[in-house]
Amino acid sequence: MFKKKTEGATAVAEPSEVDALQRQIEPLRVEIAALDKRLQVERSRQADLKADYDAACVERAEGTPEIDLSRIRSECEDQSGLVTGLQRVLQRKTGELQPLETQHNALLEAQNEARARRAELEWLVRHGVALRDAVREIEGMGGQLRESNKDRLELLNPPSHFCERALLQARRLGNGLPCYILTVRQQATQELEELEATLRRQEAQP
């Protein structure tokens, strides 16, 4: 299950929704491609018939009155009708496809966004828990956490592609978890616990 908007919205996009749309889209794409290919062929034939008609008109004007223009004209009209019909069908099928593709792309975007937020959450919890445990262990032995602690450095320098919220959370954890100001550390610890709880809820979802 994937959230369509990760901050503030509750609508979700089920994988089955994406699959169902894909099953509608693919046959339409195939049909449209075949229609477009046939349209190109029939337009080419239309141009050939028009050229034949023009040549016949010239030939008749130059002294060959027995040439039957009505037959060629009739073929041109039939071909023009066929081309027009194909254009209308192609337009209708394209109109059917566009909203499906728009919806499909929106759901894929929502899935990708949800995956990105989930990856950020896992990263925050992994480095946050490691930093918290390191602080507890070192201070329990009477020591002091080094500024070069790898998890602290990771949190203070999170990947630039993270969303703004995750960037701020990472820096709060990196600064707050080893902080000697009790209220600041408590706030960071509470935030980490909330992140852990969120991750557990997401992992429990089917």
pLDDT attached to residue 124: 98
Looking at the fold, whether 108 and 125 belong to one and the same domain comes out as no
Beta carbons of 107 and 4 less than 8 angstroms apart: yes
pLDDT along the chain (206 residues), means of 10: 42 71 95 97 95 89 80 92 97 96 93 94 97 94 90 96 96 96 96 96 86
Looking at the fold, whether 127 and 67 belong to one and the same domain comes out as no
pLDDT attached to residue 47: 95
- CA atoms of 93 and 87, how far apart (whole Å): 10
Looking at the fold, whether 106 and 123 belong to one and the same domain comes out as no
Q: How many domains does the chain have?
A: 2
Range of the domain at 156: 117-204
Domain boundary among the residues 89, 113, 137 is at 113
Looking at the fold, whether 91 and 180 belong to one and the same domain comes out as no
Give the largest Cα separation in the chain, rounded: 115
Q: Sort 18 into a burial class: Cβ within 10 Å, 0-12 / 13-18 / 19+.
A: middle
Classify the C-alpha dihedral 163-116-197-179 as positive or negative.
negative
pLDDT attached to residue 206: 67
Looking at the fold, whether 148 and 56 belong to one and the same domain comes out as no
pLDDT attached to residue 13: 52
Looking at the fold, whether 21 and 77 belong to one and the same domain comes out as yes
Q: Using H for helix, E for strand and C for coil, what is the string for the chain? A: CEECCCCCCCCEECHHHHHHHHHHHHHHHHHHHHHHHHHHHHHHHHHHHHHHHHHHHHHHHCCCCCCCHHHHHHHHHHHHHHHHHHHHHHHHHHHHHHHHHHHHHHHHHHHHHHHHHHHHHHHHHHHHHHHHHHHHHHHHCCCCCCCCCHHHHHHHCCCCCCCHHHHHHHHHHHHHCCCCCHHHHHHHHHHHHHHHHHHHHHHHCC
Amino acid at 58: V
Domain boundary among the residues 90, 113, 136 is at 113
pLDDT attached to residue 60: 82
Domain boundary among the residues 76, 91, 113 is at 113
- The label of the residue with tokens 């369509």 reads 4
Angle between helices 164-176 and 182-204 (to 10 degrees): 130
* Selection from 112, 89, 86 nearest residue 18 by Cα: 112
Looking at the fold, whether 107 and 36 belong to one and the same domain comes out as yes
